[in-house]
Amino acid sequence: MVLAGPPSVQRESADSSAPALSPQRNANAESSPAMRQAPAPRAAAAAKGASPQGDTSQFSALDGWTSFNYLRTGQAVRHARGDVEGLAASVNSVARSATVSGGDLAAPVEARLELYRGTALLAVLEIAGDQVRWTPQAGGHPSVGTPPASALAALVNAVARSATAPGAELAAPVEARLELYRGATLLAVLEIAGDQVRWTPQAAGTGGGASIGTPPASTLAAFRALLARQ
């Protein structure tokens, strides 16, 4: 006759299977939608300060512009993209540093660079102290950033050269024109337009490349007074 094992053995056998169910319960808990969808605090903070670089259209104008208009106090110059060496690369580098959504700058805007394709304005890049603001047109949203000091300095130098680079355009109508001759040969033309002047040297009678600048107000006033006495 075979006797059943003592009850204590049966209870131990049943209890020994309990730990095997615990990992199953943990796995179910970890796979629940509530657990999977709850973001980590760090991820939530990163999402709150999302960068516009996730939208590739934010900087698409950098590939498509063909000319630019540079505006600064007392100065406005229009150029083709390739007129000023190194400017396109500097614009690309500096503009892409504007990765923080929003348009607030810590300092007043000192200079404004408008990028065009033909007559269509594509984007505006503004410089304010050590910051820049990038604003795509046609419904784009502004973003700001602080580019490396060396990159910003390179851009500032490039746009400054644009004021005297060949092909510059005047911001106002020409109000006075001075033609310089040697005998019967026209050597150069100096034009006054508002607070700007345009200098155009002549080359064998066919014309040379024009350049534009903004002289000191006192110098320009004295020159105007001299012309008025002629």
Gap between the Cα atoms of 10 and 173, Å rounded: 106
How many Å apart are CA 182 and CA 209, to the nearest integer?
19
pLDDT-above-70 percentage for the chain: 67
The pLDDT of residue 1 is 47
Ranges 33-37, 68-72, 109-113, 175-179: which has the least confidence: 33-37
Higher-confidence position of 103 and 32: 103
Contacts 24+ apart (CB under 8 A), 170-179: 170/194, 170/196, 170/198, 170/212, 171/75, 171/76, 171/77, 171/196, 172/196, 174/198, 176/224, 176/227, 178/227
Three-state secondary structure call for residue 146: coil
In the prediction, which pLDDT does 217 show? 80
Domain boundaries, the chain: 52-162, 176-228
Q: Which residues neighbour 42 within 8 Å (Cβ) at sequence distance 6 or greater?
A: none
Spatial neighbors of 104 by CB under 8 A, at least 6 apart, are 144
Question: Three-state SS for 76?
Answer: strand
Confidence of residue 73 (pLDDT cuts 50, 70, 90): low
Tell me the backbone φ, ψ of residue 35, rounded to 5 degrees: -70, -40
Residue 12 clears pLDDT 60, i.e. is over it: no
Write the class of the CATH domain 52-162. Answer: alpha beta
Residue range 117-152, pLDDT digits in tens: 988 999 999 999 999 999 998 778 999 999 999 999
